[in-house]
Amino acid sequence: MEWLYALGLGYLLGSVPFGLILTRLFGAGDLRQIGSGSIGATNVLRTGRKGLAAATVLLDAGKGVVAVLLAAQLWPGTEGLAAIGAIVGHCFPVWLRFNGGKGFATAAGVLGALAWPVMLVCAAVWAAALALSRISSVSSLSATLAAPVAAALFGLPEVAKVMAVVALIVVFQHRANIGRLRAGTEPRVGSKG
């Protein structure tokens, strides 16, 4: 049953909607009624509150880190399941009728806890993709898709498998962004559209 406990722990931690909580606490309104309606940091940034967006990134990544580290302590060997649970919880929280965020920050957190050298490689991919494209979703997708490949190259097959599942979920959550990218209408960082 340990695998189920780890999955459940990851889900519960991942499902805490920090972006929604922070924007409500600090009077920025209901995040689900702003921009894309997502509860993640990119949508928090659309409120004009950069500090809240930064806090959301840290907290969303942090819940992924905590899920993996707690599972490692409580049920060694179940860290990957806790990681997947955290992503699923963030993207499909039961408290919000399964309408959550896109999962990138939480994915970065779980990857950092599972294999921080791989996370550093993905951070470099993210930065390069953002510098070249100036499109947030391109950088997020590039880094997410690089994670299982980088993990495999580092000789970490179990991490590669976990991050492949994570990548599938994150790509699914970015399906609207992918549609806009194909149409050439995805906004660039700093644009007012």
Write out the DSSP string of 38-87: --SHHHHHTTT-HHHHHHHHHHHHHHHHHHHHHHHHHSTT-HHHHHHHHH
Mean pLDDT of the chain: 92
User: Does residue 130 sit within a domain?
Assistant: yes
pLDDT at 191 over 70: no
User: Does residue 193 sit within a domain?
Assistant: no
Average of per-residue pLDDT across 130-146: 94
The predicted structure's pLDDT at residue 143: 97
User: Does residue 190 sit within a domain?
Assistant: no
Average of per-residue pLDDT across 7-23: 94
pLDDT at 38 over 90: no
User: Does residue 189 sit within a domain?
Assistant: no
User: Does residue 175 sit within a domain?
Assistant: yes
CB atoms within 10 A of CB 168: 14
The predicted structure's pLDDT at residue 6: 97
Domain residues for the domain of 22 are 2-183
User: Does residue 188 sit within a domain?
Assistant: no
HSE at residue 119, side-chain half, CA atoms within 13 A, is 16
The pTM assigned to this predicted structure is 0.91
Number of structural domains the chain divides into: 1
Q: pLDDT, tens digit, for every residue of 75-85?
A: 999 999 999 99
User: Does residue 191 sit within a domain?
Assistant: no
Helical residues (DSSP H) of 75-135, grouped into ranges: 79-91, 104-114, 116-133
The predicted structure's pLDDT at residue 193: 47
* Model confidence band, residue 190 (pLDDT cutoffs 50, 70, 90): low
The predicted structure's pLDDT at residue 28: 77
